[in-house]
């Protein structure tokens, strides 16, 4: 079945450093969504990418969707302590959504 592999599983960065998490699918995605879950909280929708090669920005966050619509990345520039949490990608295959396992981000101040 469809799987979305997300790496890395954990990332500890010094405040001010950049952070990137990657998602890969073996088959073409209809779209990909990104969510953030703060410790003890619930996943919150960040963005959706639909078009091949799409790049979207939200302040310090940059989201990319690969040309083949099989991979995606989330890049955070100059991390802050407020960025801590788990970042999930969710791949959509037609009507089916598959969650990546998530990347846990810890920021040392």
Partner 1 sequence: NAGVTQTPKFRVLKTGQSMTLLCAQDMNHEYMYWYRQDPGMGLRLIHYSVGEGTTAKGEVPDGYNVSRLKKQNFLLGLESAAPSQTSVYFCASRNGPPYGYTFGSGTRLTVV
Per CB under 8 A, residues contacting partner 1 are: 30-31, 33, 35, 41-45, 48, 50, 88, 90, 92, 94-95, 97, 99-102
Q: Which residues contact 107 (CB under 8 A, 6 or more apart)?
A: 12, 13, 14, 15, 79, 80, 81, 83, 84
* Closer Cβ to partner 1, 17 or 92, answer by number: 92
Q: Peptide bond before 8: cis, by omega within 30 degrees of 0?
A: yes
Q: From the CB of 68, what's the least distance to partner 1, in Å?
A: 18
Is the Cβ of residue 14 or residue 42 nearer to partner 1 in the bound state? 42
Q: Which is nearer to partner 1, 15 or 45 (CB)?
A: 45
Using alpha carbons only, what angle is made at residue 72 by residues 17 and 76, rounded to the nearest 5 degrees? 20
């Amino acid at each position: 079945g469809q799987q979305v592999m997300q790496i890395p599983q954990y990332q500890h960065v010094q405040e001010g450093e950049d952070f990137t998490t990657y998602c890969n699918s073996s088959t073409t995605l209809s779209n990909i969504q990104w969510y953030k879950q703060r410790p003890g909280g619930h996943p919150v929708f960040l963005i959706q990418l639909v078009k091949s090669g799409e790049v979207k920005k939200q302040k310090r966050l940059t989201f990319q969707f690969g040309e083949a619509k099989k991979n995606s990345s989330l890049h955070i520039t100059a991390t802050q302590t407020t960025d801590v949490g788990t970042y999930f990608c969710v791949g959509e295959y037609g009507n089916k959504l598959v969650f990546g396992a998530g990347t846990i981000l810890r920021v040392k101040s």
